[in-house]
Amino acid sequence: MRNMTLEKIAQALGGRLYGAEGSDLSDREVQGVVIDNRQVEKDYLFIPIRGARVDGHSFIGDAFAKGVLGVLSDHVLEDAAGPYIVVKDTEQALKDLAAYYREQIDAYVIGIIGSVGKTSTKEMVASVLGQHFSVLKTQGNFNNEIGLPLTLFCIRPSHQVAVVEMGISDFGEMDRLGVMARPDMVIMTNIGQCHLENLKTRDGILKAKTEVFAHMPASGRVILNGDDDKLQQADTLGMEKHFFGLQGQEFFGSAIAGHVDHVDALLHTPQWEHAVSIPIPGEHNVYNALAATAAGTLLGLSEQEILAGIEQVETIAGRNHFIEAHGMTVIDDCYNANPVSMRASLEVLGHAAGRKVAILGDMGELGENQEMLHYQVGQVVVENGIDLLLTAGKLAGQIVRYVQEHGDKTQAIAYADKEALLADLDQHIKKGDTILIKASHFMNFTEIVKVITE
């Protein structure tokens, strides 16, 4: 890792290096940075974090045994088995070191920001740009103040582009993420109804997410969803901006036909227009394809490269991931949920042949209007002709309440919790069903997916 010697790391963090005297260890570059001792490899740097349950400092000995070049610590160590750097706070040092490393790399960094669709947009952009460049992308949910630096540390000289998610839930977080990532390009998917407990309103969400612009270079480019009323007027601090959307934008498109496992669309750019089959269900994926098209066009990709990247994109577990099991089709979309993504997923289910079953749970962090926002999801259930609705959780029960009041063609049953739902599950589902499973991550609906598919 360029300029990541123990001596330079200590200088960047304002720390003190111990245990490297009389050797060349202080001048050797670390080969990786991790916070999990299970991921330690030879010549890595281990950064122990003090968590609510586990203190990473207790694994320093294990890290040395696995051959780390050095470790960070928030105190002087007794009988350390190798070099270490003492810093005031190791978690803050993780972020400061990521910001330092960002200065050492040449990769073009693209930040994916928004209330809904960050992961699917990230996958689409990475797939498109991967047709032309060597691309690194955020893995899993590494998009917060701990995950983002770990993603940045994975960038190597061979990577030409890094596509990173940047997720927040409060004011000031995007500012801190921006300090680390300093993106050359930002793609903003939308301003939805997420994290309202802290951000209160969509204007608050817009203010929090656009904190990133202060950390972009003057040559930075911003790609915005022009169909989002808040993003239409977003202040990009004078940076070049481009819009995508379903009509009247620089990059626009439309869904030709929706299917349960893909969507056919027509894409338009200032240079060309072309039909494309997007191998991920949901008409909302036309937006993701347009965002990737805009990024690819601005970075010089050909029409053929852009279309190939869109048509080769893959889904990931928990995000509209289709699983065939025991004669049923399961749509695993249980990584997270909010009103906008609930609508999108239910519209996907609405295209299914055979019986349509929705298993839904609570959506978190919606603030004082959380019951009404759940109740309104019931309208989407009815509009999409869902045959059976099962819910778990107190808030999700509001979805059932709407359906029972307005949807005479949908059978709807509310359970107090996931365990009660699972106890009755066998009597509700059968071969031929298409089953959508969706809730916020804290509901742990992956357990329902496993019960049905294993």
**Separation CA 431–CA 404 (nearest Å):** 25
The candidate with the shortest Cα–Cα distance to 150, out of 193, 82, 98, 86, is 98
Exposed e or buried b for every residue in 89-112, given b needs 16+ CB within 10 A? ebbebbbbbbbbbbeebebbbbbb
Q: Which residues of 413-432 are buried (b: 16+ CB within 10 A; e: fewer)?
A: ebbeebeebeeebeeebeee
Q: Give CA–CA dist 137/126, Å, rounded.
A: 7
Q: With H, G, I as helix, E, B as strand and everything else as coil, classify residue 32.
A: coil
Q: Any known ligand binding at 111?
A: no
From residue 376, give the alpha-carbon distance in Å to each of 77, 178, 283, 403, 417: 56, 35, 20, 10, 20
Strand residues in 228-377 grouped as ranges (E) = 240-245, 251-258, 263-268, 273-278, 321-325, 328-332, 356-361
Q: Strands, E, within 201-310: which ranges?
A: 221-225, 240-245, 251-258, 263-268, 273-278
Strands 70-73 and 84-86: parallel
Residue 119 annotated as part of some ligand binding site: yes
Could you give the count of Cα atoms lying within 13 Å of 99 in the half-sphere of its Cβ?
Answer: 16
140 is in an annotated binding site: no
- In degrees, to the nearest 5, what angle opens at C-alpha 105 toward C-alphas 170 and 18? 85
120 appears as a binding residue in the annotation: yes
Strand partners, 50: 55
Token pair 């990786």 is found at: 32
Does residue 314 contact residue 305 with C-beta atoms inside 8 Å?
A: no
151 is in an annotated binding site: no
* Residue 114 is labelled as binding a ligand: yes
Residue 117, annotated as binding a ligand? yes
- 99 with 180: CB under 8 angstroms? yes
3-state secondary structure 169-213: CCCCHHHHHHHHHCCCEEEECCCCCCCHHHHCCHHHHHHHHHHHH
Q: Which of 109, 300, 100 is nearest to 217 (CA)?
A: 109
Q: Which residue do the tokens 């089709």 mark?
A: 329
Contact 257, 263 (CB under 8 A): yes
Question: 306, 346, 266: which is closest to 130 by C-alpha?
Answer: 306
Tokens of residue 274, six digits = 């072309």
Q: Which residues are part of a known binding site for ATP?
A: 114-120
Q: Which residues are part of a known binding site?
A: 114-120
